[in-house]
A and B are shown apart, each in its own frame.
Chain A
Amino acid sequence: MIEFAQHLINGFSLGSIYALIALGYTMVFGILQLINFAHGDVYMLGAFAGMYASRWLKLDQEPSLSALLAAIGIAMLVCAIAGFLIERLAYRPLRRAPRINVLITAVGVSLFLEFSGQLVFGSDPKFFPQIFRVSGEWSLGELKVNPIQVIVFVIALSLMAILQYIIFRTRLGRAMRAVSFSHELASLMGIPTDRVISYTFMLGSALAGAAGVLVGLTYPKIEPLMGVLPGLKAFVAAVFGGIGNVAGAVVGAMTLGLAEEFLVGYWAPTYRDALAFSILILILLFRPTGIFGKGRSEKV
């Protein structure tokens, strides 16, 4: 029972990180119908931005919650800029091009970030500085809780709440929903679609950046290729919840995080990375729109 609860906590902590990445995927897909392959690598950039920020600002000398929040803020800013640049330089010129070309470009951007990351940061794993330290563990009876996991979960949830507010309570959010409904209609209503798309990319990338720092906090080994697998898994989570659906992405990511944690804990740890893709294939076979997704009929 204790072990079960332990896995539950780990699963939620992992799931909340997947959720932050999956949100970016689902937002971009909702607005452009594009699988932004480079999204996982933006998350990697976030981890490195957090690392360099905490080194230069010497945040690791006095680990505290404010140091952590500062690192997250900087990483989010860097990633928002990166997301803006990626959209502006690589995707916007192809707005009217066939989908396959945009997809190829997305793969190209992703690889470019990964391998130029290896050039700039070096390909060996780096140690993420401890910018937040808690002595000991919190214990609830026999259950030992690692406070860092709780913090990760809480920060991730608050960011999701902020995103929810932006999407459903602000003018920008309304514009984003309008653009994702139809680019043409939205621009006829006077919405600057290109700018809204830029904001969507920045918002999604900022969340991925925060996820990068949170991962650095829990698993303090970061390297330029770290974004590949979490990026793919987050995509699976987004499809699982119904791609384009914000709440679905969070539910899908939590489910995936828990499923992975239980697979590793009870059954077959070596097949961890294969799980997400098996889930993806099953969803595509049985319910391609995901749990919360609505089917879209194709119109000519």
Chain B
Amino acid sequence: MTLEPKAVSATGIRSLWSWLLAFAAIWLLHFFAVDALDPYFFMILMYSGINIILAVSLNLVNGFTGQFSIGHAGFMSVGGYVAAFLTTSLRDAHPEWMTDSVLSTGIFLLSTWIGGLAACAVGYVVGLPSLRLKGDYLAIVTLGFGEIIRVVLLNIDAVGGARGMPNIPPLTTFGWVYSGVLLTVFMVWRVVTSGGGRELLAVREDEIAAEATGVNSTSAKVRAFVLGSFFAGVAGALFAHYLRYLNPATFDFNRSFEIVIMVVLGGMGSITGSIIAAVFLTGVREALRPLQELTRVDFRMVIYSLMLILLMLTRPRGLFGTRELVDFLPRALRERLLGGKKRSKPEVAT
């Protein structure tokens, strides 16, 4: 027996094992703990998960790449409608498939995937013209796109038009939502710490300088945007099969704006910041619901918009800036978590 040189294995967050462990934990919770939860709390938990996916994926565009998209709900609606259309039409054609749990889960995952890809494709069409240019056209184009997609959905009778799309099979479960969360966080984290991800950060910091060092800034921006759209589509599919009803009005500008404020509050360029802000704001929305019913005005939006202005004036990088939660931990613990090496996400001080 020969002694092979021991491969340097990654530890902490870098190792695949820790992610698999998290995955296992989610499914353990799914099978053993979730049923005992209070239904109201469970609902908040589910929406938090969906919002985390949305916020983290938008952070890839708004935070890490420095582009400003305000149409995330539009991509969410594309994914949601495509996936829900697939599952409902399959269910109507073969009702017996939905009773089989393995088969229905397979259909659900496939539809979610296709929904995500559809959002990707739409993201490419919307992103390419506006991201080719320097300047803030993406903001206005995504805003406009959010309106267009709403108008288009209102006019497609196959998905119910203005009546909405009822009776979508209830396939979203706690396990799948949080598997989606894990996948999104993992992918975004891997992307921004990779070589290609450095290109995104370079574009954010200075587009001209990035181009001068050989970064194809259009391609970098479009890649980030398309990946972000994919996860928005996935979140839409999860949302559709949880709520079981879709209506074009659900995906209006306010929805997009809610995701933007999660990203800005958490810190543009901080994944953990987005997660915390998404959970926090999902809770705040529920807490403000009585007030909203009392005043009959979307009070939330007044608070959000004031919060946004004040944040920009006083703490423009959000709560965490580009730092992550682990950066605030004591050094020993941090090194353990990050696998002993210096973490590879560069700090950029501006």
Q: Which A residues lie at the B interface, using CB under 8 A?
A: 33, 35, 37, 90, 93-94, 97-105, 107-112, 114-116, 118-119, 123, 228-229, 232, 235-236, 239, 270-271, 273-274, 276-278, 280-281, 284-285, 288, 298, 300
Contact = CB atoms under 8 A, between A and B. Distances in A.
Nearest to A284: B129
B13 interface: no
A44 to B, nearest CB: 15
Nearest to A100: B68
Interface stretch (B89-97, B149-157, B165-173, B326-334): B149-157
Contacts of A35: 136, 139-140
Given A111-B257, A111-B301, A115-B298, A276 B144 contact: yes
Given A35-B139, A273-B148, A277-B148, 9 more contacts: A100-B66, A105-B312, A109-B305, A115-B305, A116-B302, A239-B137, A274-B152, A284-B137, A300-B209
A287 to B, nearest CB: 11
A288 B133 contact: yes
A107 B70 contact: yes
Contacts of B313: 90, 93-94, 105
Given A108-B312, A273-B151, A274-B152, A115 B141 contact: no
Contact of A298 (B208, B305, B308): B208
B162 to A, nearest CB: 10
Contacts of A94: 312-313, 316
B136 A104 contact: no
B284 to A, nearest CB: 16
B135 A33 contact: yes
Interface residues of B, number: 49
B126 interface: yes
A99 B136 CA distance: 8
Contact of A105 (B155, B253, B309): B309
Nearest to A281: B129
Contacts of B147: 229, 232, 273-274, 277
B238 interface: no
A278 to B, nearest CB: 7
B155 A112 contact: no
Contacts of A93: 313
Interface string B276-302: 000000000000000000011111011
9 contacts: A35-B139, A103-B136, A107-B308, A115-B298, A123-B296, A229-B147, A235-B140, A277-B147, A284-B132
B68 A270 contact: no
Contact of A112 (B140, B295, B297, B302): B302
Contact of A232 (B126, B143, B268, B305): B143
Contacts of B181: none
Tell me which of A105, A276, A278, A284 has the highest count of chain B C-beta atoms within 10 A of its own C-beta. Answer: A284
B107 interface: no
B260 A107 contact: yes
Contact of B144 (A37, A116, A232): A232
B336 interface: no
A300 to B, nearest CB: 6
Contacts of A280: 140-141, 144
Contacts of A110: 305
A228 to B, nearest CB: 8
Contacts, number: 126
Nearest to B206: A300
B304 interface: yes
A276 B147 CA distance: 10
Nearest to A113: B305
B304 A111 contact: yes
A119 B295 contact: yes
A97 B309 CA distance: 13
B130 interface: yes
A123 B148 CA distance: 24
Contacts of B260: 104, 107
B264 interface: yes
A119 B68 contact: no
A103 B151 contact: no
B306 interface: yes
B176 interface: no
A228 B144 CA distance: 11
A298 B134 contact: yes
Nearest to A99: B136
Nearest to B350: A98
A277 B67 CA distance: 19
A56 to B, nearest CB: 24
A298 B137 CA distance: 16
A112 B309 contact: yes
B145 interface: yes
Nearest to A97: B316
B136 A270 contact: no
B308 A271 contact: no
The 5 closest A-B pairs by CB, nearest first: A277-B144, A108-B308, A111-B305, A112-B305, A108-B309
A207 to B, nearest CB: 20
Nearest to A93: B313
Contact of B148 (A102, A109, A278): A278
A300 B211 CA distance: 12
A285 B148 contact: no
Nearest to A94: B312
